[in-house]
Structure 1
């Protein structure tokens, strides 16, 4: 039976994709087959295959099973803006039945683990009063939180944890990620969050040049960073 997790962040640009790829590498090294799912993405380039989002492409290439791009990322918009605004500008709506169908399709692949990566932060609006977090609650997915270790991270982390709990979901772990230059008093902030967050601390990923680089650099950095994570709490769920 496939164990699915939802990977969220305390904000946009906190390294959700890099941490997701790092988790996929760590799970693979632990003998687990794993695939990634980026149901909704905004910010894409047009290729001869259609619109391609770099984050979804990274999830696709870190998976244990070869999947077509559209299976990993069924809903994608070109402009790097909030998806509900991108959808409105394209005179479209975000169909959550597409998200659910894609999710069920990947569950049917029979892998050990499915990582579903959100877009933006936890309460991502989708238009028409919908939020991606509502679908996560409906699917009852355990949540992994990526905390971007930058100014404001304590407030953002605690508010996100509170909102996840209010949705009736279990936070099964969190990762401290430095998406750029490491912040001042990093160890103090991690120490505070470790005692304040009611979930296992899966580890700290330091600022890595490769994590901000080209595709191959990010792939290599994710493999290297996998040694920084303790995924034991995820293996026992």
Structure 2
């Protein structure tokens, strides 16, 4: 089993878009796949089909499995700890770590993805960030960045932080940002500074993640 943590340099950059494309590419190769997003905020239970868990479930070929993909779901489009608090709940990092470990231990698939919420340093609980969850799990990281002005600084900072905490970066995906500078120009600039991890480009709206599947599953 190959397992990866899908992280972003910020929020709304396309983590789920990239994860879904990768799952679909792996399935086209005849591989078994699964995905887990331990907590999601901004979830409307009256319209779940447009949510990140639902999109991941569709990519898995199990469109009704969104509740299994994300067991902790909150309505408010805020950081998970704040969204949980509005519903009288308190998120604790050891619970999220336990959820992920239990899920991973029960998997028997060729490729599994754990997707975070927000960016690398986004709060998950009142006293822990995505990074703390990632370090506890120790999975190789698939890091997703945008192509907007300033993304190079955000991406390089995220790489420094991840590696300083001992995490391996399996690949970088530059997801095209709408109304952003030229995508290829942005990627070439980043290649000058990052020479360790493979860098792939994901144009919008559609993207074939076959090359990414090749990189991660070789």
Q: TM-score, normalised by structure 2?
A: 0.89
Alignment of 1:234 with 2:216, yes or no, is yes
Give 2:107's match in structure 1, choosing from 102, 106, 109: 109
- What stretches of structure 1 move > 4 A for 4+ residues in a row? 64-67
Shift of 1:120: 0.7
d(CA) in 2 for partners of 1:234, 1:98: 29
Aligned 8 A contact 1:34 1:65 in 2: no
Pick which of 51-60 and 153-162 moved more. 51-60
Aligned 8 A contact 1:71 1:102 in 2: no
d(CA) in 2 for partners of 1:52, 1:100: 26
Give 2:77's match in structure 1, choosing from 80, 94, 101: 80
Q: Secondary structure at the match of 1:136?
A: helix
Q: Secondary structure at the match of 2:3?
A: strand
Alignment of 1:23 with 2:28, yes or no, is no
d(CA) in 2 for partners of 1:65, 1:106: 18
d(CA) in 1 for partners of 2:214, 2:52: 25
d(CA) in 2 for partners of 1:189, 1:77: 35
Shift of 1:58: 0.7
Aligned 8 A contact 2:6 2:143 in 1: yes
Shift of 1:227: 5.0
Aligned residues: 216
Q: How does 1:1-237 map to 2 (within 5 A)?
A: 2-47=1-46, 54-63=51-60, 68-103=65-100, 104-181=102-179, 183-197=180-194, 198-201=196-199, 203-208=200-205, 221=206, 225-226=207-208, 229-236=211-218
d(CA) in 2 for partners of 1:171, 1:180: 25
Aligned 8 A contact 1:41 1:53 in 2: no
Q: Aligned in 2, Cα 1:188/1:82: closer, same or farther, shift over 3 Å? A: same
CA-based RMSD of the aligned residues comes to 2.2
Aligned 8 A contact 1:35 1:65 in 2: no
Shift of 1:65: 6.0
Shift of 1:91: 2.7
Q: Which ranges of structure 1 fall in alignment gaps of 5 or more residues?
A: 209-220
Look up the match of 1:214: none
Shift of 1:80: 0.6
